[in-house]
Chain A
């Protein structure tokens, strides 16, 4: 799969694809236009003040007393009073607009067909769990969030370690992921597409490389994806892939990672059961292909220095089978 890093407006708050981001973008543009006018007026008056030829301002009192006449002062007082009143009204209007938009954003929580997803921030990857009343249908995956188009999704956020922040600007503003607290946010995508998000709260050495992809697809495609993800990993068919599976199970990988369908059940690192179905690896750092995966496993600390993936020395005869096995986990 190739990664369509499309130009210009990827990960952008002014390219909204859902109602939440759309309302925020509308508010933003309104503020921007109004406040730009205020700015231009202020600068205009300042520059005009410098260029006035002082008609009507008596010079003689100014030279003597360093203040103009009482009439001028009274005119200025009225002008400033009027400007202040206008400012107050503008700010009040902006306040109301802001509060109304906030209410609209919160309105999505009353939707009846919302899907619930729990996102847990870790240093420096995202753990994603699709919640369900049926425990067999709770899906645990990592770094890539698929959502159906047109359906509200409730994001329950928390963190395992430090404060992170879930931010997919095309869809909504950010929500901090705070250890020991659960923060909630509702998002919805109106168009299918792939939208990049990034952690937006400084979380340590690799804050820069903690991205995630939100993939919105039509409901049928989403359902198909979900069912496929719920399946455990298929047993490897040929000897080459079996050697790869053995390499995985006999090295350090199993201490941290899970591949459902095998004995590997580590909980502290991303779930690899369907690794090959993802667009990127290492939380959006590299496109997902065999070369990048090989480089990542061989030396994660050069690609993402400080991250918690152990540097494991594999035997050379294990490398190719392991990579092929991992790339077979669709």
Chain B
């Protein structure tokens, strides 16, 4: 009985990050200008120390769900469909054009990219950008499966199931 309880606690503790419900973003996170990271790690004159970017929405089920909602609300689907791409490149892939790390995707959203990716930096609050980042990464199995939604209530193939072999390479 005690073993069972301990086991249950272990399973549940790993869920603490997943099940956090932060409904109210702290004021700095509501800012519309985020912490823009560098584009790539290639620099003249030696290797720079890595800058760790705080990624609050990581592994959080509510954040990924919100990202799923915002992905449709802010019309990312207009160019990227539901990850398959169209006018814009697919978001379920192995080779990322501008990097697949959270800070890279974040910067893509903040600054925009050539050939049509709008700059969302003046529009989407920072905390919501991180939620979208989490969702995009969850489409690529880079977030725990237990925190990712299995499907949406719409005509989309489920990114987490139908795309088992996707991964990120730098």
A and B touch in the complex (CB under 8 A): yes
Complex Cα gap A302–B27 (Å): 12
Complex Cα gap A254–B118 (Å): 15
For A305, give the chain B residue with the smallest CB separation: B23
**In the complex, are the beta carbons of B23 and A306 less than 8 A apart?**
yes
For A205, give the chain B residue with the smallest CB separation: B23
For A162, give the chain B residue with the smallest CB separation: B153
**In the complex, are the beta carbons of A312 and B74 less than 8 A apart?**
no
Q: Chain B 84-95 against A: per-residue CB contact (8 Å), 1 yes, 0 no?
A: 000000000000
**In the complex, are the beta carbons of B73 and A268 less than 8 A apart?**
yes
7 interchain pairs, CB-CB under 8 A: A205-B23, A252-B124, A254-B123, A301-B23, A302-B24, A310-B124, A313-B30
Q: Is B128 an interface residue when CB atoms closer than 8 A count as contact?
A: yes
Q: Is A311 an interface residue when CB atoms closer than 8 A count as contact?
A: yes
A204 to chain B, nearest CB (A): 11
Q: Is A308 an interface residue when CB atoms closer than 8 A count as contact?
A: yes
**In the complex, are the beta carbons of B153 and A161 less than 8 A apart?**
yes
**In the complex, are the beta carbons of B73 and A255 less than 8 A apart?**
yes
Q: Is B125 an interface residue when CB atoms closer than 8 A count as contact?
A: yes
Q: Is B130 an interface residue when CB atoms closer than 8 A count as contact?
A: no
B65 to chain A, nearest CB (A): 11
Complex Cα gap A305–B27 (Å): 15
**In the complex, are the beta carbons of A313 and B32 less than 8 A apart?**
yes
A115 to chain B, nearest CB (A): 31
Further pairs besides A161-B153, A252-B125: 18, Cβ < 8 Å: A179-B153, A251-B122, A251-B123, A252-B124, A255-B124, A256-B73, A301-B25, A302-B24, A310-B125, A310-B128, A311-B30, A311-B127, A312-B30, A312-B32, A312-B125, A313-B30, A313-B31, A313-B32
Q: Is A250 an interface residue when CB atoms closer than 8 A count as contact?
A: yes
Which residues of B, 102-140, contact A by the 8 Å Cβ criterion? 122-125, 127-128
Which A residues touch B30, using CB under 8 A?
Answer: 310-313
**In the complex, are the beta carbons of A308 and B69 less than 8 A apart?**
yes
- The chain B residues found within 8 Å of chain A, CB to CB, are 21, 23-25, 27, 30-32, 69, 73-74, 122-125, 127-128, 153
Chain A at the B interface: SS class:
loop
Complex Cα gap A205–B73 (Å): 19
Give which listed residue, A179, A251, A313, contacts B27 with CB less than 8 A: A313
A311-B74 contact in complex given A252-B125, A255-B123, C-beta closer than 8 Å: no
For A266, give the chain B residue with the smallest CB separation: B73
B57 to chain A, nearest CB (A): 14
Complex Cα gap A299–B30 (Å): 10
Which residues of A, 296-320, contact B by the 8 Å Cβ criterion? 299, 301-302, 305-306, 308, 310-313
**In the complex, are the beta carbons of A305 and B125 less than 8 A apart?**
no
- In this complex, the interface size class of chain A, counting residues with CB under 8 Å from chain B, is 20 to 34
**In the complex, are the beta carbons of B24 and A252 less than 8 A apart?**
no
Which B residues touch A312, using CB under 8 A?
Answer: 30, 32, 125
Complex Cα gap A161–B27 (Å): 29
A319 to chain B, nearest CB (A): 14
Complex Cα gap A254–B123 (Å): 8
Which A residues touch B27, using CB under 8 A?
Answer: 313
Complex Cα gap A302–B25 (Å): 10
Q: Chain A 177-198 against B: per-residue CB contact (8 Å), 1 yes, 0 no?
A: 0010000000000000000000
Complex Cα gap A306–B66 (Å): 10
Most buried by A among B21, B73, B74, B124: B73
Which A residues touch B125, using CB under 8 A?
Answer: 252, 310-313
For A306, give the chain B residue with the smallest CB separation: B23
A251-B32 contact in complex given A308-B69, A310-B128, A311-B127, C-beta closer than 8 Å: yes
Complex Cα gap A94–B20 (Å): 51
**In the complex, are the beta carbons of A311 and B24 less than 8 A apart?**
yes
Complex Cα gap A178–B69 (Å): 19
Which B residues touch A302, using CB under 8 A?
Answer: 24
Which residues of A, 137-178, contact B by the 8 Å Cβ criterion? 161
Complex Cα gap A205–B23 (Å): 10
**In the complex, are the beta carbons of A305 and B24 less than 8 A apart?**
yes
For A123, give the chain B residue with the smallest CB separation: B69
Complex Cα gap A34–B74 (Å): 57
Which A residues touch B74, using CB under 8 A?
Answer: 255
A108 to chain B, nearest CB (A): 33
Which A residues touch B23, using CB under 8 A?
Answer: 205, 301, 305-306
A270 to chain B, nearest CB (A): 14
Complex Cα gap A55–B81 (Å): 86
For B153, give the chain A residue with the smallest CB separation: A179
Which A residues touch B21, using CB under 8 A?
Answer: 306
Which B residues touch A308, using CB under 8 A?
Answer: 69
Which B residues touch A255, using CB under 8 A?
Answer: 73-74, 123-124
